Amino acid sequence: MQEPIRLHSVAGSRSFRVLWLLYEMGLEPEVISYDIAGGDLRGPEFLGLSPAGRVPVLEIDGQVLFESGAITEYLCETRPEKGLAPMPGEAERAQYLTWLHYAETIGVLIQNLNLQQVFLPDPAMRSPTVIGIEVKRLAVSLKPLERVLGEQEYLLRRGFSAADTMMGFTLESARHYVRFERFSRLSAYKARIEARPAYQRALEAEGLQQFYDREFYEVPEG
């Protein structure tokens, strides 16, 4: 009997990337959900899976993996027949790895903004200077995507890949801090990937960004 695939997840977190990719591959995980505010991630059982107490965690092939980028690389390299990543020696391998990890560069900027704008318990603790700097850095980080998507529909010329599943999550978050009217190609790309059946299925199964209480967060005065 094939071992079950288990995805440990928090709705609206980086675990969405992995769930989406699993569905793109035609794999059916059991999704184990956690409440980020309830202390579920600090229990000894979960820390035994993820030492830093972070999601996603994927149990698959007798392995326990954490970090969405590492999980993405593992899934693509152990299932090359799915065609979602160029393998070593193939064309666009370098571009694939670059965009795969660039998604986390953007993700860290968003994480910093989430901390300031969403998770600090007292609005008086927010730093308008830090928020302003991080918003500008985020906007600058989106410009290379706007350029490359002026030449092709996806991050790779060959078509849709796991680099797009990594990037798609970050774009949904970025729109809460940067006005996408300035990025017409990126907006079209975002709509294109979100229309994919696997994306919609992951959205229905897990949800996205449930902790945001508004569509757009302005830089506070100060």
CA angle 73, 4, 201 (to 5 degrees): 65
What does the pLDDT read at residue 3? 83
The pLDDT assigned to 1 comes to 57
Measuring CA to CA, which residue among 92, 95, 41 is closest to residue 66? 41
Contact 190, 150 (CB under 8 A): no
Yes or no: say if 9 and 15 are a contact pair by the CB < 8 Å rule.
Answer: yes
The tens-digit pLDDT sequence of the chain (222 residues) is 578 999 999 888 899 999 999 999 999 999 999 887 767 888 888 899 999 999 999 999 999 999 999 999 999 999 999 999 999 999 999 999 999 999 999 999 999 999 999 989 898 899 999 999 999 999 999 999 999 999 899 999 999 999 999 998 889 899 999 999 999 999 999 999 999 999 999 999 986 656 788 999 999 986
DSSP string covering 162-210 = HHHHHHHHHHHHHTTTS-GGG-HHHHHHHHHHHTSHHHHHHHHHH-S-T
CA atoms within 13 A on the CB side of 134: 26
Q: What is the C-alpha to C-alpha distance for residues 165 and 23, in angstroms, rounded to an integer?
A: 11
Q: What pLDDT does residue 146 have?
A: 97
Based on the number of CB atoms within 10 Å of its own CB, is 3 exposed (0-12), middle (13-18) or buried (19 or more)? exposed
Q: What is the pLDDT of residue 91?
A: 95
Q: Is the four-CA dihedral 34, 206, 81, 148 of positive or negative sign?
A: negative
| pLDDT value at residue 8 | 96
DSSP code for 45:
H
Give the burial class of 4: count Cβ atoms within 10 A of its Cβ; 0-12 exposed, 13-18 middle, 19 or more buried.
exposed
Q: Looking at residue 207, what is its pLDDT? A: 65
What is the pLDDT at residue 218? 95
Phi, psi of 48 (to 5 degrees): -70, -20
